[in-house]
Structure 1
Amino acid sequence: MAGLTSPVAARDYGIGTAGKTDEAIAGDIAVAVINEYLAAYRRSPAPE
């Protein structure tokens, strides 16, 4: 599996890496993953 700060993971989430530290890239990827999760949660049907 690709590392969290890998260029592949960044590309998968549409995150630019030019001039960023690994920590900044990891933070951007984390935000993208959380936003993806929240979007899926909002699309899920309400419990009955």
Structure 2
Amino acid sequence: MPNFSQLGVLKVVILIIQAVELIELQILNNIVGLFGNPIDGLGER
């Protein structure tokens, strides 16, 4: 049944994309946390 296998691959690809986006957001947050956001982060330290 190629339809089911294609759906499975599609679900896996979507999960991988979502995981990569979450990891990228965490990395961006870590970079912003390290260097400080010049607009928002001045008064929070």
* TM-score normalised by the chain length of structure 2: 0.54
List gaps (5 residues or longer) in structure 1.
Answer: 1-20
Higher relative contact order (CA 8 A, sep 6+): 1
Question: How far apart are the structure 2 equivalents of 1:43 and 1:33?
Answer: 15
Question: How far apart are the structure 1 equivalents of 2:23 and 2:16?
Answer: 11
Question: How far apart are the structure 2 equivalents of 1:43 and 1:25?
Answer: 27
List gaps (5 residues or longer) in structure 2.
Answer: 38-45
Q: What is aligned with 1:26? A: 6
Aligned residue pairs, count: 28
Between structure 1 and structure 2, the one with the greater Rg is 2
Runs of 4+ in 1 over 4 A off after TM superposition: none
What is the RMSD of the two structures over their aligned residues, measured on CA atoms? Answer: 1.9
